[in-house]
């Protein structure tokens, strides 16, 4: 693997899509303040990641978000709230992405937020164009996961594929969430849920298969997957959902470290999305310079 993008959607456990319909005891357990073990691990491995922060929790965890940034990671935006984008009008979306970015920049004390990830990857083309208009430089919500009803079908026509998983149009970039084709299915192996669910050996095999066709890889995880504190699930929660939310949390941090170490050992370079865009821009500039010198 050439480049790996480690991404974290900074939200609480109760933002999980399948928990929202319940009446939850939200304040009793917080998982975001348990993120420091993970941040220390990234420091140890010298990995810089991209954190998409949900703006509605940014004031509450301002100290944590600042610490993430001061450790050299990139801060992006995960929306103002966690509602799916299909449920928002374009006008509402525009208003909210502007506001969310203002909140995050205010917390950080600097204009640094350039990227966006839609809740449950529910991005569509109209909203992508709005995002660009509002001053964002990249989005990372594109997933080719056809079986899942939640995930949107983002139309990327007129975008150029500039690198594996990376698409560009007029200086705006889309970073794809990778999946792996197995028969007629594609599995989103990049997700925290799959990392928790599959045994390490299986993940290794799937990655091997994946790397035959891909140069780059992207991982997305959530704070609740990086700690094993008990989550106060509602009693009525069906077994399936309880399983989805809790499977493999106990040793996940260790498993993740093993996976990251393996990727480092194989020569993968971890980059924030912003860094990747910068490199590709400077390369482009060099190319342009080269060609203009020749003319």
Partner 1 sequence: MSYILVTGCNGFIGNRLTRALLEEGYEVLGISIEKETKIVHRNFKYISIDITDCLSVEKLFQENSISTVMHFAAIAHTKKGQKVDWNTFYRVNTLASKTIFDCAARVKADVIFASTVDVYGACEDSILTEKSIPQPVSDYGISKYLAENILKEIAEDKGINYLIPRFAPVYSKEFMKDAYKRIYLKYPKIGFIIGQGLKYHFLSVNNIIDLIVNWIKSDNKFIGIINVRDSEPIDSAEFINLERQFGKVAKIIRVPRWLILLIEFFIDSMYRITKNYKLLKLRTILYKIVNPNKYSIDKMEQLIIQKWNLRNTVCDNEKIINI
The span of 27-35, 77-85, 87-95, 138-146 binding partner 1 (CB under 8 A) equals: 27-35
Q: Binding to Zn ion (CB under 5 A): which residues in 100-139?
A: 119
- Cα 77 from Cα 114, distance rounded (Å): 8
Q: Which listed option, Zn ion, partner 1, none, makes contact with residue 31 (CB within 5 to 8 Å by class)? A: none
- The stretches of the chain forming alpha helices (DSSP H) are 36-45, 62-70, 90-108, 125-133, 192-197, 200-213, 239-246, 252-265, 273-294
Contact 232, 247 (CB under 8 A): no
Residues 6+ apart with CB under 8 A from 228: 249, 250, 251, 252
Residue 168 touching Zn ion (CB under 5 A): no
Residue 257 touching partner 1 (CB under 8 A): no
Instruction: Tell the smallest beta-carbon distance from residue 227 to Zn ion (Å).
Output: 17
- What is the x/- site pattern for Zn ion, positions 16-55, by CB under 5 A? ----------------------------------------
- Cα 194 from Cα 220, distance rounded (Å): 10
Q: Which of 14, 85, 97, 3 is nearest to 52 (CA)?
A: 97
Between CA 186 and CA 2, with CA 259 as vertex, the angle to 5 degrees is 70
Instruction: Tell the smallest beta-carbon distance from residue 223 to partner 1 (Å).
Output: 11
Q: Which listed option, partner 1, Zn ion, none, makes contact with residue 22 (CB within 5 to 8 Å by class)? A: none
The span of 9-17, 141-149, 155-163, 193-201 binding Zn ion (CB under 5 A) equals: 9-17
Residue 59 touching partner 1 (CB under 8 A): yes
CA distances from 235 to 14, 108, 218 (A): 14, 38, 35
Q: Binding to partner 1 (CB under 8 A): which residues in 191-230?
A: 227
Residue 34 touching partner 1 (CB under 8 A): yes
Q: Which residue has the tokens 């959607």?
A: 9
Residues that bind partner 1 (CB under 8 A): 33-37, 59, 62-64, 66-67, 107, 227
């Amino acid at each position: 693997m050439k480049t790996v993008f480690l991404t974290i959607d900074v939200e609480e456990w109760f933002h999980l899509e399948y928990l929202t319909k319940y009446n939850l005891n939200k304040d009793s357990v917080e998982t975001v303040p348990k993120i420091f073990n993970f941040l220390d691990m990234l420091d140890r491995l010298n990995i810089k990641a991209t954190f998409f922060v949900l703006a509605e929790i940014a004031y509450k965890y301002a100290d944590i978000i600042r610490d993430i940034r001061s450790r050299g990671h990139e801060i992006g935006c995960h929306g103002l709230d966690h509602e799916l984008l299909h449920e928002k009008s374009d006008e509402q979306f525009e208003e909210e992405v502007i506001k969310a970015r203002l909140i995050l920049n205010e917390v950080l004390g600097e204009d640094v937020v350039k990227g966006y990830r839609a809740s449950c990857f529910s991005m569509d083309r109209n909203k992508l164009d709005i995002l660009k208009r509002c001053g964002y430089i990249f989005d990372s919500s594109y997933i080719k996961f056809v079986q899942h009803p939640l995930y949107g079908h983002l139309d990327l026509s007129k975008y150029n594929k500039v690198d594996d998983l990376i698409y560009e149009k007029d200086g705006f970039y889309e970073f794809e969430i990778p999946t792996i084709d197995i028969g007629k299915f594609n599995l989103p192996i990049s997700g925290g849920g799959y990392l928790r669910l599959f045994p390490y050996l299986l993940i290794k095999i799937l990655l091997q298969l994946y790397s035959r066709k891909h140069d780059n890889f992207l991982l997305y995880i959530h704070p609740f997957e990086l700690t094993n504190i008990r989550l106060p699930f509602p009693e009525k929660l069906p077994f399936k959902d309880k399983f989805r939310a809790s499977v493999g949390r106990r040793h996940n941090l260790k498993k993740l470290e093993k996976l990251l170490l393996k990727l480092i050992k194989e020569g993968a370079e971890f980059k924030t999305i912003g860094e990747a865009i910068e490199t590709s821009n400077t390369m482009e500039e060099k190319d342009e310079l080269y060609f203009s010198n020749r003319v």
